[in-house]
């Protein structure tokens, strides 16, 4: 999973005093005055089992509600009512995750449930940039597919990284074996997510990263968008908001539909879709939403297996059919396998190789997985590299427009600049899932250490331009407690690609994910505990 990249500019006081971002020029205008005039503000809400922490005083008082939102100015009793209704709605509609404080919550469904961490109301987002992100989906889908077919490019681009990073090395070993076997993936399936931030200074939509494995929260993102729509249907008039400005989001249903189409292309009605999961998965309900859709809409059976179980129960038939626990597998959908933690022993690596050798449709295949690594993202940003994979000049220009600065650590000039001004850069290892990136003075310290040691470890990282998105007031709700704070957001657009030989069956957007976090936090994964689920309100 992706990590959020930014927090404040160096001149934080200026941002907090200005509040002139696109998030502030939002639909929440006149909130405070609306609450004062509304009869709903006079409701007496009693015995509500929640509390709302107050944010500290703004450094400057807001002078006019005509130029900014004052979500923090919502009448307290009205706020309590909205939070209460949001918690009830979340419980009734499955907007839930496993509670970390309950030991069995990651293994036994229905044990230790808690509502997913959420933003109480949707965050503003410019419609022009929303459309731009949606238009990029099909181009990135095609790009990933073409990059994945160029085995030489993947192996050569990651050759130095292989020497420095054991995890990437093991993935490349499997990929190399597939190349030696001349393994053909006739049915190619990708469920990707491209993550973006809107840079405050340049007003450019910049890509944070492209995820090609375990692009999570398709199930819950769909539900949180419906939560926000329902809240605005109920409270929109008093808040001055229109639920129709929240884009329709069917990310879970659409992802399941593409999995079903891949299952159909495999052409074995008795085969199953296997979801590869971690041994303890508190985000299991996001995955179960897809399984329920597959069963109810397409009568497709799903099974859930860890890598260790696949090794223990799996076997490969002479025709390439993958059997797991005696059941033929049509599609393998990875929600694990993206981090070294998922491979604690040789057992798990044997399972990954077994799957890759089979005729089952992989989501993703090993080549798709490698195409989504940070190093490949950096390589694609180099001059003339996109032209190796794409023919349409307009498409190339659209992609380049959203690229942030990306550099290898063998670029000595950039390394020098990063040491001098570390706050302008992020160091990224070849990892997914949040909590892995290096920020601030740690960038300088790490670069200086790598220079002194002079070994190949620097190949395990890339440098990326740090994106500074707009900071805006929001209300977080976690563990039944609401908290007013200032936030930044990251928009992820889900994309689906399905091809059988030369026939492209699906190449489209399939919903979105909005993640919002406290502006002072560097990392941003929801599952990692840094961010909350959100939706967008078009402005």
- Provide the residue-wise pLDDT of the chain in tens; the chain has 539 residues: 444 344 333 333 333 333 333 333 333 333 333 332 333 333 333 333 444 544 333 333 222 222 225 788 888 999 999 999 999 999 999 999 999 999 999 999 999 999 999 999 999 999 999 999 999 999 999 999 999 999 999 999 999 999 999 999 999 999 999 999 999 999 999 999 999 999 999 999 999 999 999 999 999 999 999 999 999 999 999 998 999 999 999 999 999 999 999 999 999 999 999 999 999 999 999 999 999 999 999 999 999 999 999 999 999 999 999 999 999 999 999 999 999 999 999 999 999 999 999 999 999 999 999 999 999 999 999 999 999 999 999 999 999 999 999 999 988 999 999 999 999 999 998 887 666 889 999 999 999 999 888 878 888 899 999 999 989 899 999 999 999 999 999 999 999 999 999 999 999 999 999 999 988 766 555 655 578 999 999 99
Q: What integer pLDDT is reported at residue 454 of this predicted model?
A: 80
Active site residue 374: yes
Q: What integer pLDDT is reported at residue 269 of this predicted model?
A: 97
Q: What is residue 228's three-state secondary structure?
A: helix
Residue of 162, 188, 352, 374 marked active site: 374
The answer to whether residues 473 and 15 touch, using CB atoms and an 8 Å cutoff, is no
Q: How far apart are CA 178 and CA 352, in angstroms?
A: 12
Active site residue 211: yes
Q: What integer pLDDT is reported at residue 458 of this predicted model?
A: 81
Nearest in space to 497 (alpha carbons), one of 158, 134, 188: 188
The answer to whether residues 467 and 209 touch, using CB atoms and an 8 Å cutoff, is no
| 14 backbone φψ class: left, alpha, beta (φ>0; ψ -120 to 50) | alpha
Active site residue 170: no
Active site residue 511: no
Q: What integer pLDDT is reported at residue 30 of this predicted model?
A: 30
Residue of 105, 157, 190, 193 marked active site: 193
Q: What integer pLDDT is reported at residue 526 of this predicted model?
A: 61
The answer to whether residues 273 and 263 touch, using CB atoms and an 8 Å cutoff, is yes
Q: What integer pLDDT is reported at residue 324 of this predicted model?
A: 98
Active site residue 417: no
Residue of 7, 26, 90, 211 marked active site: 211
Residue 442: alpha-carbon gap to chain centroid: 24
In sign, the C-alpha dihedral spanning 36, 40, 46, 51 is negative
Q: Which residues are annotated as a binding site for Mg(2+)?
A: 209, 211, 432
Q: How far apart are CA 364 and CA 42, in angstroms?
A: 54
Q: What integer pLDDT is reported at residue 527 of this predicted model?
A: 55
Q: What is the DSSP code string of 414-437?
A: HHHHHHH-GGGEEEEES--SSS--
Active site residue 159: no
Tell me the sheet residues that pair with 477: 118, 482
Active site residue 346: no
Q: How far apart are CA 422 and CA 406, in angstroms?
A: 14
Q: How far apart are CA 169 and CA 215, in angstroms?
A: 22
Active site residue 433: yes
């160029």: which residue's tokens? 150
Q: How far apart are CA 526 and CA 15, in angstroms?
A: 25
Phi, psi of 25, rounded to the nearest 5 degrees: -80, 70
Q: How far apart are CA 282 and CA 108, in angstroms?
A: 9
Q: How far apart are CA 371 and CA 138, in angstroms?
A: 16
Tell me the sheet residues that pair with 532: 516
Q: What integer pLDDT is reported at residue 114 of this predicted model?
A: 96
Residue of 124, 216, 291, 367 marked active site: 216
Rounded to the nearest 5 percent, the helix, strand and coil shares of the chain are 40, 25, 35
Residue of 428, 444, 484, 499 marked active site: 428
Residue of 225, 515, 524, 535 marked active site: 515
Q: Which residues are annotated as a binding site for ATP?
A: 209, 374, 428-437, 439, 464-467, 490, 517, 523
Active site residue 248: no
CB atoms within 10 A of CB 319: 7
Residue of 29, 219, 432, 444 marked active site: 432
Please enumerate in sequence order all residues whose Cβ is within 8 A of that of 58, keeping only pairs 6 or more positions apart, or say none. 16
On whether the pTM is more than 0.95, the answer is: no
CB atoms within 10 A of CB 327: 15
Q: What integer pLDDT is reported at residue 404 of this predicted model?
A: 94
Q: What integer pLDDT is reported at residue 175 of this predicted model?
A: 98
N- to C-terminal Cα distance for the chain?
28
Q: Which residues are annotated as a binding site?
A: 193, 209, 211, 213-216, 281-283, 287, 335-338, 374, 428-437, 439, 464-467, 490, 515, 517, 523, 526-527
Phi, psi of 98, rounded to the nearest 5 degrees: -75, 140
Please enumerate in sequence order all residues whose Cβ is within 8 A of that of 15, keeping only pairs 6 or more positions apart, or say none. 8, 9, 21, 200, 471
CA distances from 394 to 14, 107, 133, 139, 398 (A): 37, 48, 15, 10, 6
Cα 286–Cα 287–Cα 290 angle in degrees, nearest 5: 105
Does the bond joining 364 to the residue before it have cis omega, within 30 degrees of 0?
Answer: yes
Tell me the sheet residues that pair with 322: 316, 329
């Amino acid at each position: 999973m992706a990590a959020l990249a930014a927090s404040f500019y160096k001149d934080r006081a200026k941002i907090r005093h200005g509040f002139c971002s696109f998030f502030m020029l939002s639909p929440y205008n006149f909130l405070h005055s609306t609450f004062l005039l509304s009869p709903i503000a006079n409701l007496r809400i009693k015995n509500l089992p929640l509390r709302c922490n107050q944010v500290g005083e703004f450094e400057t008082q807001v002078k006019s509600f005509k130029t900014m939102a004052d979500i923090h100015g919502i009448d307290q009793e009205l706020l309590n009512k909205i939070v209460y209704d949001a918690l009830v709605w979340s419980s009734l509609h499955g907007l839930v995750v496993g509670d970390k404080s309950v030991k069995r919550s990651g293994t036994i469904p229905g044990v230790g449930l808690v509502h997913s961490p959420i933003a109480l109301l949707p965050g503003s987002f410019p419609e022009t940039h929303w459309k731009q992100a949606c238009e990029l989906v099909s181009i990135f889908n095609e790009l990933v597919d073409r990059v994945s077919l160029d085995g030489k490019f993947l192996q050569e681009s990651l050759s130095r990284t292989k020497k420095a990073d054991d995890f990437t090395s093991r993935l490349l070993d499997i990929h190399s074996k597939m190349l030696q076997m001349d393994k053909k993936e006739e049915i190619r399936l990708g469920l990707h997510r491209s993550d973006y931030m809107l840079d405050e200074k340049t007003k450019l939509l910049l890509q944070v990263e492209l995820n090609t494995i375990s692009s999570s929260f398709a199930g819950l993102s769909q539900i949180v968008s419906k939560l926000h729509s329902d809240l605005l249907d109920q409270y929109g008039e008093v808040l001055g908001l229109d639920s129709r400005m929240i884009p329709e989001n069917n990310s879970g249903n659409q992802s399941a539909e593409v999995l079903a189409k891949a299952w159909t292309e495999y052409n074995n009605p008795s085969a199953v879709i296997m979801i590869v999961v971690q041994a303890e998965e508190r985000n299991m309900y996001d995955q179960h939403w897809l399984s329920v859709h597959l069963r109810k809409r397409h009568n497709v059976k799903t099974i859930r297996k860890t890598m260790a179980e696949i090794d223990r129960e799996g076997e490969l038939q002479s025709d390439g059919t993958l059997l797991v626990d005696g059941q033929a597998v049509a599609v393998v959908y990875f929600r694990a396998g993206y981090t070294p933690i998922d491979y604690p022993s040789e057992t798990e690596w044997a399972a990954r190789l077994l799957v890759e050798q089979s005729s089952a449709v992989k989501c993703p295949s090993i080549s798709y997985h490698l195409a989504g690594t940070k190093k490949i993202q950096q390589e694609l940003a180099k001059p003339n590299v996109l032209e190796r994979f794409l023919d349409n000049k307009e498409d190339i220009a659209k992609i380049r427009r959203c690229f942030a600065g990306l550099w290898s650590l063998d670029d000595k000039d950039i390394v020098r600049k990063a040491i001098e001004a570390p706050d302008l850069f992020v160091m990224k290892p070849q990892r997914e899932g949040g909590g892995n990136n290096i920020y601030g003075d740690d960038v300088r310290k790490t670069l200086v250490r790598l220079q002194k040691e002079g070994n190949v470890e620097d190949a395990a990282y890339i440098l990326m331009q740090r994106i500074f998105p707009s900071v805006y007031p929001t209300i977080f709700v976690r563990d039944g407690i609401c908290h007013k704070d200032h936030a930044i957001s990251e928009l992820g657009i889900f994309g689906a690609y399905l091809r059988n030989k030369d026939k492209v069956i699906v190449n489209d957007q399939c919903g979105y994910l909005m993640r919002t976090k406290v502006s002072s936090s560097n990392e941003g994964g929801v599952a990692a505990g840094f961010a909350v689920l959100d939706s967008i309100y078009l402005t």
